[in-house]
Amino acid sequence: MKKIVLILFLFLPGIAPVLQAQVENAPSEGISDEQLFRTGVRELADDSFGGRKPLTRYEDLTVNYIADKFKTLGLQPVNGSYFQEVPMLSVKTNVKGNVVTMKGKKGAARFRMMDDMVLWTLHAEEKLKVSKAELVFVGFGINAPEYEWNDYEGIDVKGKIAVMLVNDPGFYDDSLFRGKNYMTYYGRWTYKYEEAGRQGAAGALIIHETAAAAYGWSVVRNGRANNILCLNSPTGNKERVSLQGWITGEAAQKLFDVAGKSLDDALAAAKQKGFKSFPLGVTTTIETNNDIRIASSRNVAGVLPGSDLKDEYIVYSAHWDHLGIDAPIDGDSIYNGADDNASGVAALFVIANKFRQLPEPPRRSILFLSVTGEESGLLGSEYYVEHPLFPLVKTVVNLNMDAYGDKLRTSEVRASGGGLSKDIDRYVVEAAAAQGKPARFSTTNPGGGFFRSDHFNFAKAGVPVVLAAGANPLPPKAPEGMLWGGKSAYHQPADEYRESWDVSGSLEDIYLYYGIGLRLANDGYFPKWDDATYKAARDEQK
């Protein structure tokens, strides 16, 4: 196998160093890649790190550990520090009486929190009141010029509560947006609240529907039962909608009943091009008392300076945070997050070490970024792209690593987001070929999976991203990921490091990203987007 790979490499000079390193297993100061990887995972996933929850004392332990490691690996601090402060807000919203009443021309309806509706604020305000706000049905709540779709056209929602559908029109009509099997970002709930904020709405309520959301009501409800962690802006998030929420399908029916309007007609109309949003003739007053805490978390950053193109950047990222200490399962209350995502952080160490060992520094600089708050909604990466340490317009690519643990060798490379950037796809094909593997691309995104890790914030800000990993042809020949006793350890205390982990596939995936980053670091090219939304974001960068 290795001989075949070797021959392939002879024709791919840009990636040749990957192979060299791979064959020699790169002992540096007596440490192999595998040892470096295992040590990183073992230590970060140790019980003494308490599951690495942001804003706890375990955060200090974690970010200092990563910064020390970056320093040892020869990475330089940025502006004199390995840390980027990330202002955060922790908020628990308490709706007065746990009930919201809405009045329309056909009477009043009461909605119980959690059962009929969930509501929360991301404002840093202990008391928040939305008085006599009118409700407006805004279809999907989407303003997408590239798809010639604007649900907010000709309607003023300032100070009002916008009620909307989940997903995007393509889910119902293959000729609209990107069709049924590809949820665009416009279909994601986070977009809908952002857009309602830009429109000046006081609130945004999404009507839940299991098929279109890709998850049930319990997921929505449980996600909002406790404190919510979010970024905190200089205004205390006043630019966001005051109240965000979801309402069940049955409760939406009640809402339309008191409005004297047909929910079915509204849903059918909203799915047609040219739909016009309309007021429901319903008002409500909502008061909340909120427990708030303002604090800073940290991203960790270290840079390996390039040579003649050193003001251009390749960004490797991996979130350091996990779920902390919570309800015990089988007597264990520490959610260690070995696979998710001590493994991604350890992969950063391995890749940094490989770049450092090159006989000549790469032409472009390499930024290693370990971000906070991924588990709370991709917060650290969102903050980074809003406050980049180096200009995004000079940021060539983001290679994000999430869940690299316990992985057997694989026979192919599978990539998400195929076609978004044909340039990126070519780099993936080339790097996969260098490992003797075919690359397969998925061009669908039915549940919006593409939006659920940190790479997405880079894409949204216009930076091209790679999302590729080794896989076996389906059905899998060998178990993938962390299956212990046939049970997935995902987001469980059982996501622990074990010496019995097979990391041969983990290392292959690390080398895949190393190969792509190395190629881009030296060939001086800026990969371009083909997708209209991300391309527009790239064009807007300064």
Interface with Zn ion (CB under 5 A): 340-341, 402
Give, in degrees to the nearest 5, the angle at Cα 476 between 470 and 481: 60
The residues pairing with 279 across neighbouring beta strands, listed in sequence order, are: 136
Asked if residue 118 lies in contact with residue 100, where contact means CB atoms within 8 angstroms, the answer is no
At closest approach, how far in Å is the CB of 341 from Zn ion?
4
Q: How many CB atoms lie within 10 A of CB 25?
A: 11
Pairing, β 483-484 against β 468-471: unpaired
Separation between Cα atoms, residue 219 and residue 408, nearest integer Å = 31
Give, in degrees to the nearest 5, the angle at Cα 335 between 330 and 340: 125
Residue 59 or 402: the one with the smaller Cβ distance to Zn ion is: 402
At closest approach, how far in Å is the CB of 322 from Zn ion?
8
Residue 241 or 323: the one with the smaller Cβ distance to Zn ion is: 323
At closest approach, how far in Å is the CB of 345 from Zn ion?
10
Residue 340 or 425: the one with the smaller Cβ distance to Zn ion is: 340
Asked if residue 316 lies in contact with residue 367, where contact means CB atoms within 8 angstroms, the answer is yes
Closest CA to 518 of 320, 344, 359, 412: 359
At closest approach, how far in Å is the CB of 491 from Zn ion?
9
Residue 169 or 405: the one with the smaller Cβ distance to Zn ion is: 405
At closest approach, how far in Å is the CB of 402 from Zn ion?
4
Separation between Cα atoms, residue 170 and residue 180, nearest integer Å = 5
Q: Which helix (H) or strand (E) holds 141?
A: none
Residue 272 or 488: the one with the smaller Cβ distance to Zn ion is: 488
Grouping H, G, I as helix, E, B as strand and the rest as coil, residue 368 is strand
At closest approach, how far in Å is the CB of 403 from Zn ion?
6
Q: Which helix (H) or strand (E) holds 194?
A: helix 189-198
At closest approach, how far in Å is the CB of 78 from Zn ion?
24
Residue 340 or 406: the one with the smaller Cβ distance to Zn ion is: 340
Q: Which of the 8 DSSP states describes residue 62?
A: H
Residue 151 or 340: the one with the smaller Cβ distance to Zn ion is: 340
Residue-wise DSSP of 32-81: -HHHHHHHHHHHHTSGGGTT--TTSHHHHHHHHHHHHHHHHTTPBPBTTB
Written as one letter, the residue type at 286 is I
